[in-house]
Amino acid sequence: MKDDAKDSRDGAVRRHWFFDLDGTLARTGEDIIAAWKKSLADLGRECPRFDEVFTIGPTIEKVVYDLFDDATPELVEKVVARFRVNYDESGFPNTIPYPGVPEWLDALKSSGAKLYIVTNKRHAPTQKIVGKFGWDSLFDGVWSFDSIPGVKCRKPDLLARLLSEMKISPSDSVMVGDTKGDIDAGSVNGMHTVGVAWGYGSMEELAGADEIKDRLP
């Protein structure tokens, strides 16, 4: 695969590539949805509008409030606890990298790029999926919103913190994602942004990206 650290639009070479996970690197939706539905069934909660409202990307807590108008902190706590058990212990049988993604990552790595994952997914399942794919040595860092003890970081804030702590120039970095939240997180930090059209976001969400990939060679 011919795809290195050079951006295809402006020809600039950027060495630090930050990737979202769900919908960007991996198709995770089937296992996530199955764990959600099992968790709600375990708690005796019906949600007729689940398929209409549910989206992949936000935190578990936000999803509960989106799904239930009568959501309370107590309900959120119960659903979160149940979902974590059901999802983390599922083994992620249907979670796979998107076609072409492993080759893309290998090409970037071979070109000398540094690769990172920055995701709203919790740290525990993120690490399990990275391990399942054999990507432990491929990525130079893997961060979730809860990776930093005692701190829950939104993606824009997490990126800002990582760029600062690792002394990475935004002009030397790329944020790759499938949703508006990913693109906005990169843009607000002055990073080059790449939207991928094969994930869970819409083309409209990716309109603000510097570049859009609709397929991989």
pLDDT by 10s per residue, the chain, length 217: 444 565 555 667 899 999 999 999 999 999 999 999 999 999 999 998 999 999 887 778 889 999 999 999 999 999 999 999 999 999 999 999 999 999 999 999 999 999 999 998 999 999 999 999 999 999 999 999 888 877 778 899 999 999 999 999 999 999 999 999 999 999 999 999 999 999 999 999 999 999 999 988 7
CA-CA distance, 216 to 128, in Å (whole number)?
25
Tell me the C-alpha to C-alpha distance, in Å, between residue 130 and each of 8, 57, 140, 187. Answer: 27, 17, 12, 26
Tokens 């059209």 label which residue? 197
- Kindly report each contact of residues 8-11 with a partner whose C-beta sits within 8 Å and lies 24 or more positions away, as own/partner: 8/211, 9/210, 9/211
**Extents of the domains making up the chain:** 16-27+96-213, 29-88
* Tens digits of residue pLDDT in 164-203: 999 999 999 999 999 999 999 999 999 999 999 999 999 9
CATH superfamily for domain 16-27+96-213: HAD superfamily/HAD-like (3.40.50.1000)
37-74 burial string, b = 16+ CB within 10 Å, else e?
Answer: ebbbeeeeeebeeeeeebebbebbeebbeebbeeeeee
Q: Which of 20, 31, 182, 184 is catalytic?
A: 20
Q: Is 20 a catalytic residue?
A: yes
* pLDDT at residue number 1: 41
